[in-house]
Structure 1
Amino acid sequence: MTNTTKTEKNILELATFYVGDALCGMDILKVQEINKLMEMTRVPQAPSYVTGILNLRGQIVTIIDLGKKLGLDETSLGDDPRNIIVNAPGEHIGLLVRQISDVVMANPDKIEPAPANMSGIQGNFFTGVYKTDNKLIGILDVEEVLKMENESRTGHRVN
């Protein structure tokens, strides 16, 4: 019984979502909330992946098109997109994704290193890959995505 309890404590809960056709996931503890796309205000001279800003219960949230940020196509607003709101240092960021999927219980011991280029996605945004019986889930490095976002606003060169 001790092993079962120990295993359960080590399980990583991944909130999974689609960016284009790629299935991605992130630690569910990094997710503040998930909501439907709301009316956004465009931001002049913002990087191309910044879709806009929105007012979420009095908080200004910058919305990043995760597809564009990862080097894929722009997220189609004709599908059923969602904003995954995450807490960034000093602000809230919304990651615009094509579709939300399931919460997956992942054993951290079975997470493999991310290949340098995952299906056309820039691999530096991922900490690893988790294999389920029938899917591969790219585990998003939220800090890396947000770090690049902060660098672009402070004028540092972003590759």
Structure 2
Amino acid sequence: MEDTLLENQKVIVFQLQNEEYALPVEYVGAIERMHPITRVPQTASFVKGVINLRGVVIPIIDLRLRFGIAEKEVSEEQRMIIVSVNGVEVGIIVDAASDVIDLPVDSIEPNPEVVGSAAVDYIDGVVKINDRLIILLNLEKVLISEQHQLTVKAEG
């Protein structure tokens, strides 16, 4: 029975620009429509601010800006994926959240070597499913500098 659990990884698939990305569902707390965001001064450009979600203040990161992709006008398809990493809740803005799928673990290929790509540090691997290429994100690496920045601000 345990072997079956290890064969598939349940992920949430979302879009940024023309690419499909995936996050393991265990990190995801909720997928929300866009909420009004309150700016926070002196944060990194990709930190859009904070939202109040059911009484909890959550920092919001624009994943496009985090990856160096041009910012997009707010649209009906955009979503905030609320994730929890190491006990910290953060919202990430994505172009669209499409579906939850089971990825066969043995179909995950290691990072492609892409010269000059900043996003390569945040990738755990890629998966080919039919004609789709899905990039598996390492959420801890995506969020680490933002968490570090919050820690430094709290200490300083």
Tell whether 2:139 aligns with 1:138.
no
Q: Secondary structure at the match of 2:145?
A: helix
In structure 2, the residue matched to 1:40 is 37
Q: Secondary structure at the match of 2:106?
A: helix
Q: Which AA in structure 1 matches 2:20?
A: L
Uncovered stretches (5+) of structure 1, i.e. residues with no partner: none
Query: Does structure 2 retain, via aligned residues, the 8 Å contact 1:17–1:101?
Result: yes
CA offsets, 1:119-148, max 9 Å, x none? x56111110001100100000101111212
Q: Which AA in structure 2 matches 1:87?
A: S
> Shift of residue 76 of structure 1?
2.9
Structure 1 range deviating more: 90-99 or 30-39: 90-99
CA offsets, 1:98-138, max 9 Å, x none? 001121211111100112439x5611111000110010000
Query: Does structure 2 retain, via aligned residues, the 8 Å contact 1:82–1:98?
Result: yes
Q: Which AA in structure 2 matches 1:16?
A: V
Uncovered stretches (5+) of structure 2, i.e. residues with no partner: none
CA distance in 2, matches of 1:79, 1:38: 11
Compute the RMSD of aligned alpha carbons.
Answer: 2.3
TM-score (normalised: structure 2): 0.88
Q: Which AA in structure 2 matches 1:107?
A: P
> Shift of residue 90 of structure 1?
4.5
Query: Which residue among 86, 101, 106 is the counterpart of 1:104?
Result: 101
Query: Does structure 2 retain, via aligned residues, the 8 Å contact 1:75–1:96?
Result: no
In structure 1, the residue matched to 2:80 is 83
Give aligned pairs, total.
153
TM-score (normalised: structure 1): 0.86
Query: Does structure 2 retain, via aligned residues, the 8 Å contact 1:81–1:99?
Result: yes
Q: Percent identity?
A: 32
CA distance in 2, matches of 1:78, 1:51: 16
Structure 1 range deviating more: 66-75 or 25-34: 66-75
Query: Does structure 1 retain, via aligned residues, the 8 Å contact 2:6–2:105?
Result: no
Q: Which AA in structure 1 matches 2:83?
A: V
